[in-house]
Amino acid sequence: MTAREIAFYTCVLIVLGACWGLTIPLSKIAVSTGHRHFGLIFWDVAIGVAFLGAVLGLRGKRLPVTGAALRAYGVIALLGTLLPNAASYQAIAHLPAGVMAIVLSLVPMLAFPVALALGLDRFSLRRLAGLSVGLAGVLILVLPETSLPDPAMLAWVPLALVAPLCYAFEGNYVARWGTAGLDAVQVLAGGSLVAAALSLPLALATGQFISPFRSYGPPEWALIASALIHAATYAGYVWLVGRAGSVFSAQVSYLVTGFGVLASLAILRESYSPYIWMALCLVLAGVFLVQPRRKEPLAPGPSIGETAR
């Protein structure tokens, strides 16, 4: 790439990271008045389907309905949306949004040992060091009694870890078995459609459905904004990967975490103990060490269905 292209793509990367990071405090606002996970998931993916469907229409593409495609949609719906989002929405109702931003950045570190087990990547001491540093960051986040604002929040950290673990398995599934020849927007749109079909009856059965015929306050607008930002940002990320490459584009994970913490500070007026700042530095250092270098095989990380929450 030329210097001008690098500068331009770097600006795009920063904008994507800032937008994706913004969805973390928006999710916190969405649950602030009692909206529950299945209702939130349904509208999140339904809005995403409308946006991504329009993108596919403009590109002249459609969603295949072959057996292989449906299997890919189902995996993305479960591992990329339903399970991680159900856990994240419940956890973020009890944890600071900045802490969630740190926890979600663990995806590459969790994905690496899974990739090793599946034979998708190779062992290296640098990545082992990254795993160790990231683990130290998590321990600093949860062990000191004065780390979290309320020690009772510690019980919700394991639930918060469900999301990055699901994304780690999802990324490895895509790396191992592929997406049935579909591009990323098709898979995300199909996965979102399946997630909408699954989450709607769950929301209705559990009384969590959020009626659109209501007065709209900050939680409802936050949900709409988060869904639109995620869909648009993901489409932009796919565009960036196609032009700047996956190694360059993967650096967005650092920006999502950083902007997620900063946005939570600015919008939610959160405050963090020195332990949380130390954990943030260690986790980002761990992600840096675990990320593949340009000549190394790419370890699966945040991928097709990740919401970056």
Classify residue 181 as left (phi > 0), alpha (psi -120 to 50) or beta.
left
Distance CA 118, CA 308 (A): 24
* Cα dist from 163 to 170, 297, 302, whole Å: 10, 24, 11
Rounded Cα–Cα distance for residues 103 and 261 (Å): 11
Could you write out the DSSP letters of every residue in 77-108? Answer: HIIIIIHHHHHHHHHHTTS-HHHHHHHHTTHH
Question: What pLDDT, in 10s, does the model give residues 167-223?
Answer: 889 888 888 888 888 888 898 899 999 999 999 999 999 999 999 998 999 999 999
Length of the chain: 309
The predicted pLDDT at position 1 comes to 67
Identify the residue whose tokens are 């500068």.
Answer: 7
Amino acid at 27: S
d(Cα 308, Cα 97) in Å, to the nearest integer?
12
Give residue-wise pLDDT tens across range 103-152: 988 888 888 888 888 888 888 888 889 889 988 998 898 888 878 888 88
Q: By C-alpha distance, which of 167, 159, 226 is closest to 25?
A: 226
Give me the helix-helix angle, 37-59 and 83-92, nearest 10°: 130
pLDDT higher than 80, residue 289: yes
From the list 90, 147, 93, the residue with the least C-alpha distance to 282 is 147
Q: What is the pLDDT of residues 50-106, one digit of tens each?
A: 999 998 999 999 999 999 999 999 999 999 899 999 999 999 999 999 999 999 888
Helices then strands, each counted (H, E), the chain: 14, 0
Task: Extract the tokens encoding 65.
Answer: 């309905």
Q: What is the Cα–Cα distance from 124 to 142, expressed in whole angstroms? A: 27
